[in-house]
A and B are shown apart, each in its own frame.
Chain A
Amino acid sequence: MIELDIQKSLHSSSGEFALDVQLRIEPGEFVTLFGRSGAGKTTLLRCLAGLAEADSGSIVVDGETWFDSRKKVMLPAQQRRVGYMFQDYALFPNMSVRGNLEFALRKGASRSRVDELIEIMALGELQQRKPATLSGGQQQRVALARALAAEPRLLLLDEPFSALDLQTRLRLQDEVLRLQRHFGLTTVMVSHDVSEVYKLSRRVLVIEHGSVVSAGSPAEVFGAGQAGGKFSFAGEVLAIDAADVVFAVTLQVGNQIVRVIASADEVQHIKPGDRVMLLSKAFNPVLVVC
């Protein structure tokens, strides 16, 4: 269990503001920190990892104090045993894929863990390659495998899928979910992608200007939780085409591409690339067994 209560003043392009977050995370939970860039999500993750120091407060993990400003405790990143996946993956360019994983092993750990991870992540054919020769999706898999190689107690993912194309993103989301369950790892992910949050996490914390403004299951938080006569889907706008007096909006929902009709009012505030919620009345659903 993680109990976190920290304050830190942050400087951003929009001026100075305070990061002030209280948070409890149960063992094995998958929590997402959701919010716009510059809201303080990554700083929160870095404070957890020991890469940044909060101004005041405390972080206690499984009864062990990682940070306490009053007792002047700041456990260095080296001793926290967190698996941190960086936005740029931070693979060591001088080492092969296998080398990256072996470097991450803890002292005295068996090399068979590397073999196991290479197998699980299907990196067998890539293991002698250098990171620079890999595609974005492959690098991401190596980064994830490396973070797991050190047998972390906590997995921290900083926008793990942001640099990937759609197909790869969807495939790797499945992968992360599978591994997280396989190892039963408590995981905190930073994301600003609604569909990703829906798919991966049970609990989401929306962070704005340094504080948690809402928390709950993705359905509750994104306003589609009340059971009722509505379907709702989170999706991404791919294209908006004018068709006579209405507009045809092409959306990507999950791994499906759908086309819906929208009025001029509705498309006024959206543009391709935006995240939207697609709501539909449930009075005439067609159910097909599959």
Chain B
Amino acid sequence: MTYDWQPLLLTFKLAGITTLILCLIGIPFAWWLAQSRSRFKPVLETLVSMPLVLPPSVLGFYLLLAFSPQHWFGKFVDQAVGLKLAFSFEGLVLASVIFSFPFLVHPVQSGFQNLSPSLSEAAYTLGKSRWQTFLHVLLPNIKPQLLAGVVLSFAHTIGEFGVVLMIGGNLPGETKVASIAIFDEVESLNYDAANFYALVLFSVCFAILLSVYLMNKKLLARVG
């Protein structure tokens, strides 16, 4: 029997793009949170953490409403950049970014917070700009937390099911990711195919997490 690799490839594509976008916006955001004394910080921190406690279906439901062409947001995105978010890959990416946000922001934010403030101050007195300080002093010193954040958000996106089902549905090649495919195959009693997807996901996730722990051990050993 031949297996369909498409759902697996789609899963990794989704996780890869999501993680990339998360790094671009999540790391600066985590830095801002770590050093901010804004009154709105607790509100923002709460919003970031909401996906940790909300059932995926709640988030998926609201996202589905917002993405629909009747809603102002969905309409706006459609008219502005010509993207239909509901039941599309782009919509999945946006939802995954929102849903995996805390998994990247939390470790990175605590990494920044654990750095002594005198590190940045030392760099400033040496004439380095905020950007140079961020790039050469702050980021390199939170490598273990960065790694943890990237891997957690990647792995979490791979494992996402509820949100994807709500807003993506089950369109082959577009929104049918591996976790959906497993559910689909089990429903049609194709245990063999379900097992194939499940086993690949299990092995890949195991390998990723294992390499993280090994790398972190090495990183920490080098620092200590």
Q: Which residues of A contact B (CB under 8 A)?
A: 49-51, 76-84, 86-88, 90, 92-94, 103-104, 106, 130, 132, 146, 150
Contact = CB atoms under 8 A, between A and B. Distances in A.
B126 interface: yes
Given A78-B129, A104-B126, A150-B127, A92 B121 contact: no
B128 interface: yes
B224 interface: yes
A78 B224 contact: no
B128 A92 contact: no
A80 B125 CA distance: 7
A89 to B, nearest CB: 8
Contacts of B82: none
Contacts of B224: 132
Contacts of A83: 125
Interface string B118-151: 1101111111110000001100110100000000
Contacts of A79: 127
Nearest to A85: B122
B36 interface: no
Contacts, number: 61
Nearest to A79: B127
Q: Which of A51, A81, A94, A146 has the most CB of B within 10 A?
A: A94
A76 to B, nearest CB: 7
Q: Which of B121, B127, B137 has the most CB of A within 10 A?
A: B127
B223 A150 contact: no
A46 B222 CA distance: 33
Contacts of B124: 50-51, 76-78
A78 B133 CA distance: 11
Contacts of B140: 94
Contacts of B121: 51, 77, 84, 86, 90
22 contacts: A50-B125, A51-B125, A76-B124, A77-B121, A77-B125, A78-B128, A78-B129, A80-B125, A81-B127, A82-B125, A83-B125, A84-B121, A87-B118, A90-B119, A92-B119, A94-B137, A94-B143, A103-B126, A103-B128, A104-B126, A106-B127, A130-B223
A48 to B, nearest CB: 10
Contacts of A93: 141, 223
Given A103-B136, A132-B224, A90 B127 contact: no
A88 to B, nearest CB: 6
4 shortest A-B CB distances, which residue pairs? A90-B118, A94-B140, A90-B122, A77-B124
B116 interface: yes
A117 to B, nearest CB: 14
Contacts of B123: 92, 103
Contacts of A106: 127
A50 B122 CA distance: 11
Given A90-B116, A92-B137, A94-B141, A78 B127 contact: yes
Contacts of A94: 137, 140-141, 143
Contact of B122 (A76, A86, A132): A86
A2 B167 CA distance: 65
Nearest to A84: B125
Contacts of B129: 78
A104 to B, nearest CB: 5
A223 to B, nearest CB: 35
A133 B184 CA distance: 55
B141 A86 contact: no
A93 to B, nearest CB: 6
Contacts of B141: 92-94
Contacts of A78: 124-125, 127-129
Contacts of B128: 78, 103
Given A77-B121, A106-B127, 5 more contacts: A80-B125, A84-B122, A86-B118, A92-B123, A104-B126
Contacts of A84: 121-122, 125
A86 B116 CA distance: 11
A158 B154 CA distance: 44
A159 to B, nearest CB: 13
Interface string B206-224: 0000000000000000111
A79 B140 CA distance: 25
A130 B223 CA distance: 8
B163 to A, nearest CB: 37
Nearest to A106: B127
A249 to B, nearest CB: 37
A49 B119 contact: no
Nearest to B125: A84
B113 to A, nearest CB: 16
